[in-house]
């Protein structure tokens, strides 16, 4: 018996580092280049990682974090939650990083006081507590000053300070503007000296930033009046290529001590539709559909059927937050052939004009990220298989509550 609960290499869920990391070579190459340039004292744009739920933003950040730590760099990672608590969290993590590297004592008295005031932590770590009467603007400015100091310390040590902020779309509008303005300011501080000929040489502080969030993050930043989105390099995480899914599945099976037969592999690759979250949900069930060392096509079919209910629950979760009109708009889009899915085509199907429904498609693209422009004026569903899910819901209306 090879395929057991213990040997199952798939880990459905969110944010868990996978046993095997599939694809994302382009993104990692870009992030590595960013670090290399910062280490050389050259400014490097912040990276904005956007993508649908479950596409792999968090694990990209976490894998990158691990690589950075291994290389001795200073990493500060914070997950944002609604409001502005992320400022306190970042401050607390900066203090932890300094403490780990025996550098906390090098902070100026003012910066050490900032840490205590913003994060409510003593360096022994007494938890996160905010001074209730400091404004977001003041806290962001204090964080900026702290980052500049820590950037200088990192430079002295020959390492890069990298800030990783996840779930940035949840940060309140005021705080998102202030926080990223502060970050931008800290990143553009330069250190200059004269070379022997008297010419001025400038170096940027080695401060990097990678900010991740749902596709609506770019619009959220704009609405906050922030130019951070425009100034960042966008890394839009799409589904994995078929080749990456195939290679990933083979590597997962190997990690668990099994192999796919060729037909089984084709079926599972197809069912995953390139979507990392689905890869785990489907992979887990296919694993449990048999016990032998070789995963057969019949087992793949059984596993895919067993995974379907979970995938449907995932789609329903994404649809729950929509208004009735937004839902009707999506239903109409799903009924059309992919080639006919334009704003005008969908509006016509609903007996309206595209300008009458402009705010609806804007909300579905910018805020909810469920549709995206696909060239030639067409709109496409961002989540693979969502159109099929909506179609099946329309065939069997009794299944919808």
Counting Cβ atoms within 10 Å, is residue 197 exposed (0-12), middle (13-18) or buried (19+)? Answer: exposed
89 binds ligand ATP (CB under 6 A): no
Alpha carbons 138 and 141: distance in angstroms, whole number: 5
Kindly indicate which of the ranges 9-17, 67-75, 150-158, 258-266 contains the residues binding ligand ATP, using the contact rule CB under 6 A.
9-17
Nearer to Mg ion, 55 or 332 (CB): 55
Pick from 38, 44, 50, 54 the residue near ligand ATP by CB under 6 A: 54
Structure tokens at 9: 């290499």
Pick from 4, 7, 16, 305 the residue near ligand ATP by CB under 6 A: 16
Q: Which residue is nearest to ligand ATP (CB)?
A: 56
Kindly indicate which of the ranges 126-134, 197-205, 274-282, 317-325 contains the residues binding ligand ATP, using the contact rule CB under 6 A.
274-282
Alpha carbons 228 and 38: distance in angstroms, whole number: 18
Nearer to ligand ATP, 204 or 253 (CB): 253
Alpha carbons 230 and 104: distance in angstroms, whole number: 34
Q: How far is the CB of 281 from ligand ATP (least distance, A)?
A: 9
Question: Roughly how many angstroms between the first and final C-alpha of the chain, as a whole number?
Answer: 42
Nearer to Mg ion, 58 or 365 (CB): 58
Alpha carbons 17 and 233: distance in angstroms, whole number: 24
Q: How far is the CB of 167 from Mg ion (least distance, A)?
A: 6
Q: How far is the CB of 84 from Mg ion (least distance, A)?
A: 19
Residues in the chain: 401
Nearer to ligand ATP, 16 or 110 (CB): 16
Residue 341 contact partner, candidates Mg ion, ligand ATP, none, CB within 5 to 8 A by sort of partner: none
Instruction: Give CB contacts under 8 A, 24+ apart, made by 349-358.
Output: 357/325, 357/329
Residue 172 contact partner, candidates Mg ion, ligand ATP, none, CB within 5 to 8 A by sort of partner: none
Q: How far is the CB of 300 from ligand ATP (least distance, A)?
A: 19
Residue 17's SS3 state is: coil
User: Other C-beta atoms within 10 Å of 123: how many?
Assistant: 15
Task: Check the CA dihedral 25-27-32-37 and report its sign.
Answer: positive
Nearer to ligand ATP, 55 or 319 (CB): 55
Contacts of 30 (CB under 8 A, 6+ apart): 47, 233, 235
Nearest to 385 by CA among 246, 284, 231, 281: 281
Q: How far is the CB of 21 from ligand ATP (least distance, A)?
A: 5
Among residue numbers 118 through 137, which ones bind ligand ATP (CB under 6 A)? Answer: none
Q: How far is the CB of 91 from ligand ATP (least distance, A)?
A: 23
Pick from 3, 8, 9, 18 the residue near ligand ATP by CB under 6 A: 18
Nearer to Mg ion, 8 or 58 (CB): 58
Among residue numbers 10 through 69, which ones bind Mg ion (CB under 5 A)? Answer: 57-58
Instruction: Give CB contacts under 8 A, 24+ apart, made by 13-17.
Output: 13/280, 14/53, 14/54, 14/58, 14/277, 15/58, 15/59, 15/62, 16/59, 17/59, 17/62, 17/63, 17/66
Pick from 28, 41, 43, 53 the residue near ligand ATP by CB under 6 A: 53
Which spans of this chain sit near ligand ATP (rule: CB under 6 A)? 11-16, 18, 21-24, 51, 53-59, 214, 248, 276-277, 280
Instruction: Note the residues at the interface with Mg ion (CB under 5 A).
Output: 57-58
């Amino acid at each position: 018996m090879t395929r057991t609960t213990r040997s199952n290499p798939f880990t459905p869920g969110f944010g868990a580092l996978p046993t095997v990391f599939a694809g994302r070579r382009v993104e990692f190459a870009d992030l590595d280049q960013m670090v290399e340039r910062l280490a050389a004292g050259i400014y490097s744009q912040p990276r904005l990682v956007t993508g649908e739920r479950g596409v792999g933003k968090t694990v990209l950040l976490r894998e990158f974090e691990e690589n950075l730590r291994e290389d001795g760099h200073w990493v500060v990672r914070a997950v944002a939650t609604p409001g502005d608590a992320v400022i306190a969290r970042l401050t607390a993590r900066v203090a932890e990083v300094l403490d780990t590297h025996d550098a906390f004592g090098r902070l100026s008295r003012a910066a050490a006081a900032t840490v205590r005031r913003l994060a409510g932590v003593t360096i022994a770590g007494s938890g996160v507590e905010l001074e209730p009467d400091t404004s977001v603007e003041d806290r962001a400015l204090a964080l900026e000053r702290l980052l500049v100091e820590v950037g200088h310390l990192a430079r002295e040590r020959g390492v890069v300070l990298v800030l990783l902020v996840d779930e940035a779309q949840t940060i309140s509008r005021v705080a998102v503007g202030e926080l990223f303005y502060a970050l931008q300011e800290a990143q553009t501080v330069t250190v200059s000296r004269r070379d022997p000929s008297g010419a001025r040489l400038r170096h940027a502080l080695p401060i990097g930033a990678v900010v991740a969030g749902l596709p609506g993050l770019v619009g959220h930043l704009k609405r906050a009046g922030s130019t951070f989105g425009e100034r960042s390099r966008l890394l839009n995480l799409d589904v994995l290529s078929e080749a990456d899914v195939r290679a990933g599945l083979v590597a997962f099976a190997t990690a668990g001590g099994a192999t796919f037969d060729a037909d089984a592999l084709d079926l599972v690759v197809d069912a995953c539709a390139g979507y990392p979250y689905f890869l785990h949900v489907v992979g887990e069930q296919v694993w449990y559909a048999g016990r032998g060392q070789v995963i057969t096509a019949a087992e793949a079919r059984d596993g895919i059927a067993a995974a379907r209910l979970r995938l449907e629950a995932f789609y329903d979760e994404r649809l729950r937050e929509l208004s009735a009109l937004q839902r009707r708009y999506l239903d109409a889009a799903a009924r059309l052939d992919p080639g006919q899915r334009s704003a005008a085509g969908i509006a016509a199907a609903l007996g309206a004009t595209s300008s009458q429904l402009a705010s609806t498609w804007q909300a579905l693209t910018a805020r909810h990220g469920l549709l995206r422009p696909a060239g030639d004026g067409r709109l496409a569903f961002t989540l693979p298989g969502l159109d099929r899910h909506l179609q099946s819901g329309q065939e069997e209306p009794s299944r919808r509550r």
